């Protein structure tokens, strides 16, 4: 109690002195301002903060000054938040058209943005060495698939290395895609880094030179970008620190992309690691998405020129109860309806370690949920589009056609799923689980 009284007395004395009623000397400019407008003095904030958390009776003149400061300061802050500029009409139209084209009915995204090290793991699984040429040869297989691919694939996310690679005949991969009517995109984040003081949580780096890189990528032919943030479900996670930090990073990334005429795909991935149930996954997903869209609003991001790439709401990989596609679909749509504005053109789900078949079946179930869904709900799959392709190819030239046929089948399956029309099992054999613990790439 003695400590609180002392703290109160000090705060009260400093505040009185600051507004000209005490003996503490203040700089002349501050004193003059305080005498005329005591509620504007910075020390008023300190005293107000103490006052509202204390149990002491405050003298009425001081109390009224504090409240006046609080009201005027709140009004000042509230008014400031309404002063910002929308993008120009021309930029709005460009961004909106790109976003809408990516989520056109029956179409989705092929995520071929694996880093050198991650692509090495994929190649190792099929007994192929991780070399520049082997990575190029595999991406060439993907991008030279029959033009029918464009019936279900609207965009491809590239890695920086792949953006500058060429086919055997010298045609840049970007041009191969554009000739098919497929929009090139680019991964722009530089990977996750630890959040100091957290329980093994992370944020994503790469903002410092992002504007310059986006300007360069736009000139190279990329019209959209992707940035991934990762959140983990545990007893005490995701923490407020992690949620807030990653939401703001995603918002800043989105704002920078739009300033360079690139559509940002916002990816706040809640990892499936853990034994949590569906209910816990839904609540965490809702909390994370709500924070993301608050941050996007704070940064004045033009939502009609964005896309969302979230996880589906699923129980943890180690959960005792495995939910049905219908339960997953309902939980996912409910989470989106509670957090994602209708202005967003589309949601392009990540597969999150689901098998190829699970990713298709669950996406189809999501599109059958009997609730209003104001956005296109489609796919942005990496492993769930490529696992069978890699196995069929096996690094052999004579198997290129077989690999491309697998890609066409999986693309068609997910295109049907984005319309709620996929028939389970109709795409052939399943890849099996593609889950990777604590997945990073």
Let me know if 76 is exposed, middle or buried by CB neighbors in 10 A (0-12, 13-18, 19+).
exposed
Candidates 114, 267, 269, 406; catalytic one = 267
User: CB neighbours of 209 closer than 8 A, spacing ≥ 6?
Assistant: none
* Strand 263-270 versus strand 376-381 pairing type: unpaired
Let me know if 416 is exposed, middle or buried by CB neighbors in 10 A (0-12, 13-18, 19+).
buried
Q: Which residue(s) pair with 166 in the sheet?
A: 172
Return d(Cα 95, Cα 92) in angstroms, integer. Answer: 5
Return d(Cα 275, Cα 262) in angstroms, integer. Answer: 38
Q: Please tell me the total number of residues recorded for the chain in this structure.
A: 441
Largest CA distance in the chain: 90
Q: Is position 232 annotated as part of the catalytic site?
A: no
Enter the tokens of residue 390: 């890699």
Return d(Cα 122, Cα 390) in angstroms, integer. Answer: 8
* Strand 307-308 versus strand 108-112 pairing type: unpaired
Find where tokens 């967003």 sit. Answer: 344
Return d(Cα 151, Cα 415) in angstroms, integer. Answer: 8
Candidates 226, 309, 357, 406; catalytic one = 309
Q: Is position 309 annotated as part of the catalytic site?
A: yes
Catalytic residues: 267, 309
């Amino acid at each position: 109690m003695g400590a609180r009284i002392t703290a109160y007395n000090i705060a009260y004395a400093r505040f009185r002195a600051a507004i000209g009623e005490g003996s503490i000397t203040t700089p002349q400019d501050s004193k003059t301002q305080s005498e005329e407008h005591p509620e504007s003095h910075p020390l008023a904030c300190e005293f107000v903060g103490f006052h509202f958390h204390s149990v002491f009776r405050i003298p009425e003149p001081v109390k009224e000054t504090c409240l006046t400061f609080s009201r005027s300061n709140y009004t000042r802050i509230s008014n400031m938040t309404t002063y910002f500029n929308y993008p120009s009409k021309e930029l709005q139209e460009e961004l909106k058209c790109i976003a809408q084209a990516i989520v056109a009915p029956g179409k989705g995204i092929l995520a071929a943005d694996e880093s050198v090290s991650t692509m090495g793991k994929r190649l190792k699984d099929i007994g192929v060495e991780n070399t520049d040429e082997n990575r190029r040869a595999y991406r060439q297989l993907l991008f030279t698939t029959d033009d029918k691919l464009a019936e279900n694939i609207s965009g491809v996310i590239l890695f920086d290395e792949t953006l500058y690679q060429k086919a055997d005949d010298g045609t840049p991969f970007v041009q191969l895609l554009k000739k098919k009517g497929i929009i090139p995109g680019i991964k722009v984040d530089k990977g996750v880094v630890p959040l100091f003081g957290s329980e093994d949580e992370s944020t994503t780096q790469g903002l410092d030179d992002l504007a310059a890189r986006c300007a360069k990528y736009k000139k190279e032919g990329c019209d959209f970008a992707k940035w991934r943030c990762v959140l983990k479900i545990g007893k005490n996670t995701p923490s407020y620190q992690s949620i807030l930090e990653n939401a703001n990073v995603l918002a800043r990334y989105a704002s920078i992309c739009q300033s360079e005429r690139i559509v940002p795909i916002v990816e706040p991935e809640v990892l499936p690691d853990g034994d949590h149930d569906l209910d816990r996954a839904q609540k965490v997903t809702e909390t994370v998405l709500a924070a993301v869209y608050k941050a996007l609003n704070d940064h004045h991001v033009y939502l009609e020129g964005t896309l969302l790439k979230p996880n589906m709401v699923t129980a943890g990989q180690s959960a005792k109860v495995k939910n049905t596609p219908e339960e997953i679909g309902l939980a996912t749509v409910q989470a989106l309806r509670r957090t994602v504005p209708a202005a967003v053109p589309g949601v392009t789900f990540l597969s999150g370690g689901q098998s190829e078949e699970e990713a298709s079946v669950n996406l189809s179930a999501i599109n059958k949920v009997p609730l209003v869904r104001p956005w296109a709900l489609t796919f942005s799959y990496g492993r769930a589009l490529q696992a069978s392709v890699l196995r069929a190819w096996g690094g052999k030239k004579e198997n290129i056609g077989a690999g491309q046929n697998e890609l066409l089948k999986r693309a068609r399956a997910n295109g049907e799923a984005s319309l709620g029309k996929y028939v389970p099992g109709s795409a052939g054999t399943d890849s099996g689980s593609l889950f990777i613990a604590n997945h990073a790439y």
